[in-house]
Amino acid sequence: MQLTGIGALVTGAASGMGRATAGALAAAGAKVALLDVNANAVGTAAREVGGHACVCDMQDPRQIERGVAAAIEACGPLRILVSCAGVGRMEPLVGPDAVPFALLAHTLQVNLIGTLQVVQLFAADLVRRERLEEGERGVVVMVASGAAFDGPMASSAYTASKGGIVSMTLALARELGDHGVRVNTISPGAFVSAMPWRAARPERGSTSPAQPSGIATAMPVPTLTLSPGPIVAGSLARRSQPASWS
């Protein structure tokens, strides 16, 4: 897909992988809507990349509806969705640090249910649009995690949320493929970003940037201690392949 002038929505775009993805898409000529709950940071990111900020809390279905509608109005028709928004916390189920159920639910709401709703709203608009020259309409890239396949200690909600994204990828690809929409999911290992796997109790957690070595010991999957650049580049490279959705 040629990216020049193409509308793209990136969730979790205020920081980390989402911020890097938004920058890469904008640099490639796309019109980028940056969606995030962090109003100040997403405003700054949008100014820096020349995109449009959509402030939206992905735990609130109404805010998601408004956020995606604003993105379509500002940058539409949207052909690309990169769904990076996510939260990660150490969430022990039992013991002195046991996490309140509301926080477990929040992780699933933002990472899984919020992602599914964004995909639905994005796709509902996209399938009404004309096909592009090569017959495709657009592409969805979701972000899971190596944790989906090998869950670290005290990550049951996070792991479930990312496993849900992995599981729904084929179902979405099969359904949306009929409409010319490719669906892919990437499952990174740990990398340095603002997501430090904060402890469920803030007073016990670090607010400093990620501690990938700590994550790596808990997550026996390939671990990147790099910026998100190579991942973003890989994702863009896959998007540049000829369309294949059958």
Which CB atom, from 15 or from 235, has the smaller least distance to ligand NAD? Answer: 15
Q: Is 110 among the residues that bind ligand NAD (CB under 6 A)?
A: yes
Q: Is 124 exposed, middle or buried (0-12, 13-18, 19+ CB in 10 A)?
A: exposed
Which of 84, 108, 118, 232: binder of ligand NAD (CB under 6 A)? 84
Q: Which tokens sit at 81?
A: 């969705």
Q: Is 122 among the residues that bind ligand NAD (CB under 6 A)?
A: no
Within 52-81, the residues that bind ligand NAD by CB under 6 A are 56-59
DSSP E strand stretches across 78-189: 78-83, 89-90, 138-143, 181-186
Which CB atom, from 183 or from 190, has the smaller least distance to ligand NAD? Answer: 190
158 in catalytic set: yes
Give the shortest CB-103-to-ligand NAD separation in angstroms.
12
Residue 103 contacts residue 200 (beta carbons within 8 Å): yes
Q: Is 195 among the residues that bind ligand NAD (CB under 6 A)?
A: yes
State the catalytic residue, choosing from 3, 53, 158, 221: 158
Give the shortest CB-68-to-ligand NAD separation in angstroms.
12
- Phi, psi (degrees; rounded to nearest 5) at 146: -55, -25
Which CB atom, from 37 or from 70, has the smaller least distance to ligand NAD? Answer: 37
Within 147-186, the residues that bind ligand NAD by CB under 6 A are none
Q: Is 38 among the residues that bind ligand NAD (CB under 6 A)?
A: yes
* Parallel/antiparallel/unpaired status of strands 138-143 and 78-83: parallel
Cα 52 to Cα 172: distance, rounded to the nearest angstrom: 27
Q: Is 123 among the residues that bind ligand NAD (CB under 6 A)?
A: no
DSSP string, 176-234: HHTTTEEEEEE------SS---EESSGGGS--SSP-HHHHHHH--S----S-SHHHHHH
The residues binding ligand NAD (CB under 6 A) are: 12, 14-18, 36-38, 56-59, 84-88, 110, 143, 145, 188, 190-191, 193-195, 210
Q: Which residues are catalytic?
A: 158
